[in-house]
């Protein structure tokens, strides 16, 4: 029963709510249904081949609707299965990850904050790595694809899955900062942020979760060149580098002298080899 004291009120307008991301997508059931039917027609068939295309932005973007319940996963699975094909199968597989993480958290509620499978890490903390954490949050690490994704998160309250993977790997493994610091920041900004999928994906990337390769480290330069080969995603979110054509935008440090000075963009926070050596030593892999 609805408690007597519960009253029905109009939802506040977006402008009346403080701190909303500027580029936040519109919510609500009508919007969710419209998005699903348009994407089912135009995006589903190509999903398997193109879900990692960062500039193309071709995934469904239905996660906020699944999070708030304005679309049901059962409805999506039914519709996708009716459409059929490799794209639909790949999409249903991703929906299964969502369920999987909810099931893991139900079985192991402590995994919301404790390592699911400890690697005996002695992470750098919020205090000891304060400068690095701020640079990561603000999109000023000097690694363009990491910075682009972190700025997308701040602007839209959403980030592409490939961006989530490589920014999380950069924080937890390259900077060797406690995954909980990053997970908290994501939860503060993500419109689809939920404990099961956020914390367990963070643990997956940090190598303390269900990943069968806990020590893999994503290289942001290789990842950038692979998933944003022309650099369009970086130029969209890091306007300071808009003058750099093609894949060169992923390695601004290769420019020299006045050419480099023309770009008001920070140098790399650390060498990737330095981060990798620290991580390997911490995990006893050296």
Ligand X SMILES: Cc1cc2nc3c(=O)[nH]c(=O)nc-3n(C[C@H](O)[C@H](O)[C@H](O)COP(=O)(O)OP(=O)(O)OC[C@H]3O[C@@H](n4cnc5c(N)ncnc54)[C@H](O)[C@@H]3O)c2cc1C
Q: What residue ranges bind ligand X (CB under 6 A)?
A: 51, 59-63, 66-67, 91, 94-95, 97-98, 101, 161, 164-165, 168, 186, 190, 192-194, 197-198, 201-202, 205
| Residue 177 per-residue DSSP state | B
Contact call for residues 217 and 173 (beta carbons, < 8 A): yes
Smallest gap from residue 98 Cβ to ligand X (A): 4
* Residue 100 or 263 with smaller CB distance to ligand X: 100
Smallest gap from residue 212 Cβ to ligand X (A): 15
CA pair distance 163, 1, nearest whole angstrom = 43
Q: How far is CA 87 from the centre of its chain?
A: 21
* Residue 75 or 286 with smaller CB distance to ligand X: 75
Smallest gap from residue 193 Cβ to ligand X (A): 4
* Residue 66 or 244 with smaller CB distance to ligand X: 66
* Residue 93 or 260 with smaller CB distance to ligand X: 93
265-270 — which CB contacts under 8 Å span 24+ positions? 265/142, 265/144, 265/238, 265/240, 265/241, 266/135, 266/140, 266/141, 266/142, 267/142, 268/141, 268/142, 268/143, 269/132, 269/135, 269/141, 269/142, 269/143, 269/175, 270/132, 270/174, 270/175
Smallest gap from residue 285 Cβ to ligand X (A): 22
Smallest gap from residue 209 Cβ to ligand X (A): 10
Smallest gap from residue 223 Cβ to ligand X (A): 13
CA pair distance 80, 71, nearest whole angstrom = 13
Tokens representing 23 are: 């580029």
Tokens representing 73 are: 């996963």
* Residue 161 or 247 with smaller CB distance to ligand X: 161
* Residue 54 or 249 with smaller CB distance to ligand X: 54
Smallest gap from residue 167 Cβ to ligand X (A): 8
* Residue 168 or 234 with smaller CB distance to ligand X: 168
147-152 — which CB contacts under 8 Å span 24+ positions? 147/234, 147/237, 147/238, 148/233, 148/234, 148/236, 148/237, 148/238, 149/237, 151/237, 151/238, 152/237
* Residue 153 or 241 with smaller CB distance to ligand X: 153
CA pair distance 279, 275, nearest whole angstrom = 6
Contact call for residues 185 and 193 (beta carbons, < 8 A): no
Smallest gap from residue 272 Cβ to ligand X (A): 19
């Amino acid at each position: 029963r609805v408690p007597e004291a519960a009253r029905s009120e109009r939802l506040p307008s977006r402008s009346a709510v403080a701190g909303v991301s500027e580029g936040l997508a519109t919510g609500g059931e009508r919007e969710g249904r419209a998005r699903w039917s348009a994407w089912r027609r135009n995006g589903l068939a190509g999903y398997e081949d193109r879900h990692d295309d960062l500039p193309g932005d071709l995934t469904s973007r239905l996660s906020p609707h699944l999070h708030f319940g304005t679309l049901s996963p059962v409805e999506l699975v039914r519709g996708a299965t009716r459409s059929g094909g490799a794209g639909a199968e790949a999409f249903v597989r991703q929906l299964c990850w969502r369920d999987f993480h909810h099931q893991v958290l139900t079985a192991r509620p402590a995994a919301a904050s404790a390592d699911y499978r400890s690697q005996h890490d002695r992470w750098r903390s919020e205090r000891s790595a304060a400068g690095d954490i701020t640079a990561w949050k603000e999109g000023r690490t000097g690694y363009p694809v990491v910075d682009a994704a972190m700025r997308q998160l701040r602007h839209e309250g959403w980030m592409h899955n490939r961006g989530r993977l490589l920014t999380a790997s950069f924080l937890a493994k390259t900077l060797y900062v406690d995954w909980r610091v990053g997970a908290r920041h994501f939860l503060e900004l993500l419109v689809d942020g939920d404990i099961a999928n956020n914390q367990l994906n963070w643990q997956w990337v940090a190598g303390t979760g269900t990943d069968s390769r806990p020590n893999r480290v994503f290289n942001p330069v290789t990842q950038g060149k692979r998933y944003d080969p022309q650099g369009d995603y970086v130029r969209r979110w890091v306007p300071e580098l808009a003058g750099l054509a093609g894949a060169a935008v992923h390695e601004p440090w290769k420019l020299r002298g006045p050419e480099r000075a023309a770009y008001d963009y920070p140098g790399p926070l650390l060498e990737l080899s330095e981060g990798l050596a620290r991580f390997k030593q911490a995990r006893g892999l050296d």
